[in-house]
Amino acid sequence: MKKLNLLLFLTTISLVFSSCNEKYPELQDGIYAEIVTNKGTTVAKLHYDLTPMTVANFISLAEGTNTMVDSIYKGKKYYNGILFHRIIKDFMIQTGDPLGTGTGDPGYKFPDEIVDSLSHKSKGILSMANSGPGTNGSQFFITLKETPWLNGKHTVFGEIVLGQDIIDSIGVAKTGPRDKPEEEIKMLEVNIIRKGSNAKSFDTESAFTNKLKVLEEEKAEKEKAEKEKAEKIAAKFNELKATATKLESGLEIAFVNQGDGEQPKSTDMVNVNYAGYFTDGKNFDTNIAEKAKELGTFDERRAADPRGYAPMPMSYSPEAKMIPGFKEGVQKMKVGDKAVLFIPSHLAYGEKGVGPIPANTDLIFELELVSIQGKE
């Protein structure tokens, strides 16, 4: 009996000392990143349950277990010693680039892991930096205030729970060209803290590969559906083109609805709805919200702008600052008319192209002349 009591006593003492030695005992179960900087230490909670792939990537880099990194980083705790290379007051602080220039990466890229319930809702949000969809690597930023315009564009994967004052102090550092701090501010260490059985059993390799597989399957299904939709749109346009009138310039126009609306004057400003397509039926732009939703291209950020999804004002004149085929087509229309324009590349963006439109690309536009400004 005495031996049993002694064993219980020693076990209790062991647990007490273990608890006393445990880092941040006030934190609840979860996975945390202790970010030790030369300005102080901060702790972030990582959303491993909601963004397992992104958190797995972060942890494996921090602990030096990532197998996809370039050979020069293998076996090394990737984030230790990395600079905060970009600081924008009242916006964010950015780090995670081994080159310290904003151009570096670990040697691979992985997809976005956007979760609607995670947003850039306040200061202290950890989010992946990228150069466009599917270009995540190792760079991340921490917000200094609410930044809702980043929602849906960057993967939120954590938030500061201790040491926000350290983040705030870094956020007011003096900067020079390209928002680079004048003094070196760096992460000395990034240590991963796991609390609770679920956190301790989180396997980074399987979490990353499993979620990546799911996202790749979803992407393939989405691309297949988009291709089928585009093929149907292209077939519809091919039927319409057979009925189109070809003008001397090379522009072809097919009226879908032609009524007795008012004829604008060359001095008028008119409002136009449009949807632009490539000849394979893929949409590249529209100012019609319902059309964007139908095509799966609706942009919440654009919708937040009162002018985002609204009729486009333009001059009803040969001098309008539009591509030649577009303005020529509009000048054939009256208020209320709907038409489809088949614009050859030389009447579109020609040999230079622009944005998502390659050089020497024929375009198709669905148009509606909504109104004459001042006569709505």
Annotated catalytic residue: which of 61, 126, 144, 150? Answer: 150
Q: How far apart are CA 140 and CA 156, in angstroms?
A: 9
Catalytic hit among 47, 86, 118, 363: 86
Tell me which of 141, 208, 237, 326 is the catalytic residue. 141
Any catalytic annotation for residue 326? no
Q: Assess whether 141 carries a catalytic annotation.
A: yes
283, β-bridge pairs: 277
Whole-angstrom CA distances from 148 to 140, 156, 214 are 17, 12, 27
Amino acid at 14: S
From 27, 80, 91, 284, the catalytic residue = 91
- 247 part of the active site: no
Residue 85 is among the residues annotated as catalytic for this protein: no
Active site residue 126: no
Separation CA 82–CA 188 (nearest Å): 7
Residue 359: burial class (beta carbons within 10 Å; 0-12, 13-18, 19+)? exposed
Q: How far apart are CA 182 and CA 175, in angstroms?
A: 5
Estimate the crossing angle of helix 204-241 against helix 52-63, to 10 degrees.
Answer: 130
Kindly name the residue from 57, 66, 94, 271 that is annotated as catalytic. Answer: 94
Of 130, 151, 191, 331, catalytic: 130
Order of strands across the sheet that contains 156-162: 84-88, 92-95, 140-143, 125-128, 156-162, 40-46, 30-37, 187-195
Choosing from 58, 154, 240, 273, the catalytic residue is 154
**Catalytic status, residue 150:** yes
Location of structure tokens 């009226």: 255
- Specify whether 263 is catalytic: no
CA angle 85, 86, 87 (to 5 degrees): 130
Please measure the distance between the N-terminal and C-terminal CA atoms of the chain and give it in whole angstroms: 95
| Residues annotated as catalytic (active site), given as ranges | 86, 91, 94, 130, 141, 150, 154
